[in-house]
Amino acid sequence: MAHSNKLIRNYTPAEAYNNGLNLRSAVNTDGQTTRILLLGHLERLVRSVNATRSFQTEEDLYDAVDDIIEIFPTLKVEEILVCFKYIRQGKYELYGNLTTNTLIKCLHQYDLDNTVRLREQEHLENKNKLPYHTAHIDWQRLADQIVIEPEKKSLEELGGHVHITAHDLQEIQRAKEEAQAKEKKDIN
């Protein structure tokens, strides 16, 4: 926190993206310190811009920091500070206003100009590293091709017994013959 001014002074958007700490992670790890860091840089920005319409109270600054955390959880803390530096340097037009609304618009523009491009580049690099794409696997076709033969066991192997008489076997045989005769008749 003490060296953030010197650190950000020489940071580029790519360095902030690659070496930065995700805002959500920073807030989850130490929310108070993260808010104080953003608040300190925001106060410095307000003093340096000297806009005719700006934050009126400390409460307005706190709200702005909370809004940034809520709206941009995936930006890196360093990226937000680089954006503040760009606002101070005049890379984003404020038209005499530095309110939460114009600050959010500047951060959105920074995100579009820098972070989106870097995320897409990172995605393409990771995509080229992957040897296969699971999104294009036809899982149904694979499942249909898998054939698992059920294990066949006799009734005796399963521990059962069948009490069939000779008359019962003759009835089963006669039913089979009738079914076969009916199938032949239906075919003709």
Which residues have C-beta within 8 Å of that of residue 33, sequence separation ≥ 6?
1
**Contact status, residue 17 vs residue 80, Cβ threshold 8 Å:** no
β-strand partners of 54: 98
**Token couple for 170:** 């003759």
pLDDT by 10s per residue, the chain, length 188: 556 777 778 889 999 999 999 999 999 999 999 999 999 999 999 998 888 889 999 999 999 999 999 999 999 999 999 999 999 999 998 888 899 999 999 999 999 999 999 999 988 887 777 555 566 777 777 788 887 777 766 666 666 666 777 788 788 889 999 999 988 888 77
Q: Which helix (H) or strand (E) holds 39?
A: helix 23-49
